[in-house]
Chain A
Amino acid sequence: MDLGALVACFASPACVVTQASSGLIVGLLLFLVAAGLTLIFGVLKIVNFAHGTFYMLGAYIAYSVLQATNSYGLAVLAAAAAMAVFGVAFERFLIARVYGGNVLMQLLICYAVVLIFDDLVKLIWGADFHAMGMPEAFQRAPIFIAGGVVPPFYAGLIVLSLCLAALLGLGLGFTRMGKIITAAAQNPQMVAALGINTTALFALVFGLGGGLAGLAGALAAPVRSLSPGMGFSILIESFIITVIGGMGSIAGALLTAIGYGLLRGFGTIGFPLFTDELIYAAMILVLLLRPSGLFGREIV
């Protein structure tokens, strides 16, 4: 515990800007993963424990595409597109076969997919860790805001993620498909009763979730280490965020992810030793007091 340091940090604009931006970058990347997780749960009532695998594959695909084409933009698009297709295939060929079955059967399929792709990644890219390295376009000096440091790459990521969040919100709120998804998240029977093709809907939701997770992997690849099994810790973190924010709520995931990032950013200064325990305790409290999460609606 070092609350003195925390107070001192809040008194200094430089410290606030730096820690807040570093918290935002952690939180927003997690949001991209959590958004898919929460959507899938909202619409299909499935906890996609294979979601970390989408993130991992996105990062590896981006790594290879960048090596082949030397274009980071292309790498990011390819990763997102490939994972969207992968998400659809995963839903159609695997998950769709156990709808209506035991929740644990779905869990088992996710577990199998995690095992298989962790090993496939090792087979294709090797057991050692990789680093993509910073794309040349972003190898610039940091920006200074009120004395705080914000690297240009991270500034770009924050803007991009917030745009995506807005786009997602608008898309869900104002397009026909989006409204159907939102409705399905709240009342799946009703949507089916209205004669809407839920098969296509479910595949679409998985595609969207997969694409977002792949995108997050590609965006994280320049600064994080790539290794088989790298999706696991991301899965845990984004799972916590979805539960606290409310399974099914995009806004909940966004706000919780940002809150989580900021907690990490300032927690490392004020109470570095307890951040993990604090987050688990928060998750337990939320579940006990408001099982559907801070922003979610209770499922029946």
Chain B
Amino acid sequence: MTKHDVKNNDKTKPGLGRRAVLATGVTGALAIPFLARGAGNVLRIGVPTVLSGPIALLGTSSRNALLLEADRINAAGGLAGRKIELVFEDGKAQPQETARVARELVNTGGCELLIDATPSSGAFAVQEVVRDLGVLCIHTCSETSSLTADPKLRAPTAFRCARQGVHDSIAGGAYLAQFANAHKFNKWATCSPDYAYGRDTTAQFLDFFRHFKPDIELVTQAWPKLGQPDFTEVITKLIQARPQALFTLLYAGDLSAFINQGNVYALFKAMTVCTPNVDYPVLSAIKNIPDGIQSGTRYFEEFPPLPANKAWSEAYRKRFGQYPTNWAWQNAAAMMFLEAAAKKAGTSDGKTLVAVLSGLTIDCPFGTNGKITMREDHTIIDYAIGWGRTIAKPPYIADIKPADWGQIIELETAWKKQLGYI
């Protein structure tokens, strides 16, 4: 380096001075409060979730349900005598952050179990962590079937306590085929978000729909972009295609915006809209829910029509001032599974619980017949799936027909064989 340069511009030297090295060392040292926290008679359960950004509701309602159940279980003596302490951490809906958080919860947070309340991209990242660490984990928000169906992706200590895309597609296909036959609706359109979930699940739904009703005609398919705030041009395109019915997989804020914008164009008078996704957050955000949307019940306090279900929803509403979400029941059910498994095993040890959970059937307010089973392939069945139509006043969804689980499992098995999963 020439002297000339040094004088001319004092910015020219990217110095590696002693002070710089020292400062880096100090900041490094500050960043190392990496001492593992102890456990004792408290059972820590780590919950990687999403608490910020557009889908923060997923995390907050999951957290509500988990707190509700943990308090109930603790009041009754805890899990095999150990008090539950829940540790929530925000993975920010980013897979790498979620993976980091999950590892940290186990490695330094002293968590012996994980409840993974993250959407699919996070769940797949957590799955790799779980495979690595061998810790018991229950996924409570990922509906992507392959998470447990694909043997390549499955992890031996991971379970899913959540509804599953393939189940919903079969149930929806069967219900809507009946509905279409009753109304002689043959011209259909679809409108789903343009990303892997939207495309895969729409294709899967159409497969099962055609299985039940081979003579449908697909007049148009619209694919609004991920996070698109405005669906106007999609709505006008749909109206001009003149289908008799529309199937859409938009959900949450997107579905709410779609309904509001559709109302502006009187879309709901032009065609019957069918979606699995009208739930309480959508209902409470929209002032005028149109009559006659055919919808699935993601969580609905009137379905299954069990006193326990209604009572649970009321307890939730009383404590948190809002209706439970689909994510809420899935997390509550996960805690109920842990509770039942610990009771049966007489311990809260993760390894033992893994063996007990597999194939376990529990009493649960969210089961079609008051029971839910954790099948041997580590995913739940017999949970409530129903379809009905919306009405403008409470309870907002009427004439709910429960899905036929025998049929679901039969077609699910065929689907798995077709993909080479079994």
Contacts and interface: CB of A to CB of B under 8 A. Distances in A.
A91 interface: no
A105 to B, nearest CB: 15
Interface stretch (A17-25, A178-186, A198-206): A17-25
B229 A225 contact: yes
Given A151-B264, A268-B233, A129 B252 contact: yes
B281 interface: yes
Contacts of B57: 127-129
A225 B254 contact: yes
B285 interface: yes
A229 B50 CA distance: 14
A228 interface: yes
Interface stretch (A37-45, A75-83, A269-277): A269-277
Nearest to B225: A276
Interface stretch (B116-124, B236-244, B297-305): B236-244
B56 interface: yes
Contact of A19 (B60, B228, B237, B265): B237
B233 to A, nearest CB: 5
Contact of B264 (A127, A130, A154): A154
A95 interface: no
A89 interface: no
B264 A22 contact: no
B54 A149 contact: no
A220 B237 CA distance: 20
A23 B233 contact: yes
B222 interface: yes
Interface in A256-277: 264-265, 267-269, 272-273, 275-276
B interface secondary structure, majority: helix
B229 A22 contact: no
Of B222, B265, B281, the most chain A CB neighbours within 10 A belong to B265
A223 interface: yes
A276 B194 CA distance: 11
A22 B263 contact: no
A272 B288 CA distance: 30
Interface residues of B, number: 41
Given A223-B264, A233-B227, A129 B281 contact: yes
A268 B257 CA distance: 18
B406 to A, nearest CB: 36
Of B223, B229, B256, the most chain A CB neighbours within 10 A belong to B229
Contacts of B236: 18-19, 22, 149, 265
B411 interface: no
B256 A133 contact: no
A24 B52 CA distance: 33
B257 A224 contact: yes
A170 interface: no
Nearest to B252: A129
A141 B236 CA distance: 15
B249 interface: no
Contacts of B260: 131, 133-134, 222-225
Nearest to B270: A149
Nearest to A264: B233
Given A19-B233, A234-B229, A272-B222, A128 B285 contact: yes
A224 B231 CA distance: 9
A127 B235 CA distance: 27
Contacts of A264: 233
B286 interface: yes
Nearest to B254: A225
Given A25-B232, A26-B232, A268-B222, A228 B52 contact: yes
Interface in A22-40: 22-23, 25-26, 29
Interface string A62-93: 00000000000000000000000000000000
B265 A151 contact: yes
A110 interface: no
Nearest to A23: B233
A14 B257 contact: no
B257 A22 contact: no
A142 interface: yes
B322 A128 contact: yes
B232 A227 contact: no
B56 A127 contact: yes
Contacts of A131: 256-257, 260, 285-287
A224 B254 CA distance: 8
B253 interface: yes
Interface in B270-289: 281, 285-288
B107 interface: no
Contacts of A223: 230, 232, 257, 260-261, 264
Nearest to B239: A149
B223 A227 contact: no
B360 interface: no
Nearest to A119: B52
A133 B239 CA distance: 21
B394 interface: no
A149 B222 contact: no
A269 B235 CA distance: 11
Contacts of B252: 129
Contact of B53 (A142, A154, A229): A229
A269 B237 contact: yes
Contacts of B235: 22
B287 A230 contact: no
A141 B225 CA distance: 28
Contacts of A230: 54, 229
Nearest 9 pairs of A and B residues by beta carbon? A127-B56, A129-B253, A225-B253, A133-B287, A22-B232, A225-B257, A151-B264, A131-B285, A128-B57
Interface of B: 51-54, 56-57, 59-60, 194, 222-223, 225, 227-230, 232-237, 239-240, 252-254, 256-257, 260-261, 263-266, 281, 285-288, 322
Given A227-B54, A228-B54, 5 more contacts: A122-B56, A128-B56, A151-B264, A268-B233, A268-B237
19 contacts: A18-B236, A118-B52, A122-B56, A127-B51, A128-B285, A129-B281, A131-B287, A133-B260, A134-B260, A134-B264, A222-B260, A223-B264, A224-B229, A229-B53, A264-B233, A267-B233, A268-B233, A268-B234, A269-B237
